[in-house]
Amino acid sequence: MSRLNEATLAALPPAIVRPAYDRTKTRIGIVHIGAGAFHRAHQAVHIDDLLADDPDWAICGVSLRSADVRDALGPQDGLYTLALLGGNLSLRVIGAIRELLCAREEPQAVLARLADPAVRLVTLTITEKGYCLSGDALDLAHPDIAHDVASPQAPASAIGYVVAGLALRRAADIAPYTVLSCDNLADNGGRLRRAALQYAQAFDPDLARWIETEVAFPRSMVDSITPATDDALRERVAAQLGCADAWPVQREPYTQWVIEDHFCNARPAFERAGATISDDIAGYDHAKLRLLNAPHSALAYLGSLMGIETVADAMRQPALAGFVERLMRADIAPTLDAPRGFDPDAYTDAILARFRNPDIRHLLSQIAWDGSQKLPVRILGTIADALVAGRPIDRLCLPVAAWMRFVRRQARNGVALVDPLADTLSALDRTTAGDASAAVAAFLALDAMFAPMSGDERFVAALRDAYMALGDATPGAVSRALAAAGGTADV
């Protein structure tokens, strides 16, 4: 079977949507760090929408370590298929990525791109762990950051590359690029900015001052449910395309991108491609993280303990679906500092409908990855706010306790955790006995996750109760805990 690429593009069946512009006339204006499935299913599609009008914003996709994306899409001239999941599978070939680089193998090419004056925007999807934070600050002891501080011209981390590119531009008197985080972190731009400043400060205070005054790090909120690519998708795509695509991506039809209007260089006309430019982004990122991602993580850990595989299956369990809905409406929504015109009930309804979408096979195991990084930004902040406001936290603690039970179960069963703290987390299991207080205390000693709240007696007690309520974490025990926590949607 032939391969999707420039040569086979014209022969694709007419139902397949393809780039509405001449790719050879586009120029690279964006470097994207972290060219994984989410970027290719989300931001790259928005850019694909506007290249016909504005050809100067094609993307150079950079992977920091793995060459997999470059090696899969290189022979395809950067082309890949986006499958929209809903009723019929609708397919679209995306042409926005014109260049693919693997930083580990071609660091000079990445630095040269970053220094290119035609590049005016650097975007990132590096997941929570890519920011190398400990609490809110940059973890200067993180091996990648320590490496980069010692050799800033030959970086390994995303922050190292962003700052190295800025240093090259400053030295060559080229205007800096805007740095736009597209990760699921509250105040993602602010965190990235503080991390970049702290990093630069560690080896070049003048550079840090220049970044502080000259470079914009807007916040953004991204949303679209994007299940990992599997062979079933590859086969369906090949059958409809009539040629092979080594790495198609899939997502739900719904997509949202809200970007803070704060740029230090030219920007694409995002608003013409369905994104929202706003000066009131803070409320959006909180609402999304707390009302979508936190329930997702709750389903992931509670559902996995119950032996359920996907989000849609989890939503078919009345006790679990009821618990999550109640968590959203009664516990999370009231703590939100909602953006102007935001209706938490309608937002909750829409999210629950998206979770129920039977056409999406979104594995709970995928969402369960990186719990140590996700829980603080998704749910611990809500608990902290509820503690300050004197609101109940019992239900909010159940997903956190479920994560603890999940971690212990994986360690006991010898299943490797996908988490940057995997080694520490698996070791915890060996040092704590079956005693709930001791087990919870061992988790709470993880300062990077729990530092601001681990001394709060109400929190410690509620978490211990939730942990005990989950009993031996069998499906029956979890169902009983959900029932006891009020797994009914009447709020």
Residues at the contact surface with ligand CS2, assessed by CB under 6 A: 184, 223-225, 293, 296, 366-367, 374
Tokens describing residue 336: 């939100």
CB-hemisphere CA count at 13 Å for 209? 3
Q: How far is the CB of 342 from ligand CS2 (least distance, A)?
A: 17
Q: Which is nearer to ligand CS2, 354 or 464 (CB)?
A: 354
Q: For ligand CS2, which residue has the nearest CB?
A: 296
Q: How far is the CB of 13 from ligand CS2 (least distance, A)?
A: 30
Q: How far is the CB of 236 from ligand CS2 (least distance, A)?
A: 21
Q: Which is nearer to ligand CS2, 77 or 223 (CB)?
A: 223
* Beta-sheet pairing, 90-94 with 133-134: unpaired
Within 10 A of 369 (CB to CB), how many other CB atoms are there? 16
Q: Which is nearer to ligand CS2, 51 or 225 (CB)?
A: 225
The residue behind tokens 């690029």 is 177
Q: Which is nearer to ligand CS2, 38 or 450 (CB)?
A: 38
Residue 482 near residue 323 (C-beta atoms within 8 A): yes
**Per-residue burial over 207-245, b = 16 or more CB atoms within 10 Å of its CB, e = otherwise:** bbebbeeebbbbbbbbbbbbbbbeeebbebbbebbebbb
Burial group, residue 415, by CB count within 10 angstroms (0-12, 13-18, 19+): exposed
Q: Which is nearer to ligand CS2, 193 or 296 (CB)?
A: 296
Closest CA to 212 of 203, 223, 200, 221: 200
Q: How far is the CB of 288 from ligand CS2 (least distance, A)?
A: 7
Residue 57 near residue 29 (C-beta atoms within 8 A): yes
Q: How far is the CB of 368 from ligand CS2 (least distance, A)?
A: 8
Q: How far is CA 186 from CA 61, 107, 225, 259, 466, in A?
A: 24, 30, 18, 13, 26
Q: Which is nearer to ligand CS2, 198 or 224 (CB)?
A: 224
Q: Which is nearer to ligand CS2, 228 or 330 (CB)?
A: 228
Q: How far is the CB of 135 from ligand CS2 (least distance, A)?
A: 20
Q: How far is the CB of 419 from ligand CS2 (least distance, A)?
A: 12
Q: How far is the CB of 293 from ligand CS2 (least distance, A)?
A: 5
Q: How far is CA 386 from CA 215, 299, 331, 382, 394, in A?
A: 35, 21, 8, 6, 10
Torsion of CA 322, 458, 337, 401, to 10 degrees: -40
Long-range contacts of 303-308 (CB under 8 A, 24+ apart): 303/364, 304/364, 304/365, 304/368, 304/406, 305/402, 305/405, 305/406, 305/409, 305/470, 305/473, 305/474, 305/475, 305/478, 306/475, 306/478, 306/479, 307/475, 308/364
Q: Which is nearer to ligand CS2, 201 or 293 (CB)?
A: 293
Q: How far is the CB of 249 from ligand CS2 (least distance, A)?
A: 13
Q: How far is the CB of 99 from ligand CS2 (least distance, A)?
A: 26
Q: Which is nearer to ligand CS2, 178 or 184 (CB)?
A: 184
Q: Which is nearer to ligand CS2, 296 or 326 (CB)?
A: 296
Tokens describing residue 78: 């950067």
CA gap 402, 129 in Å, rounded: 21
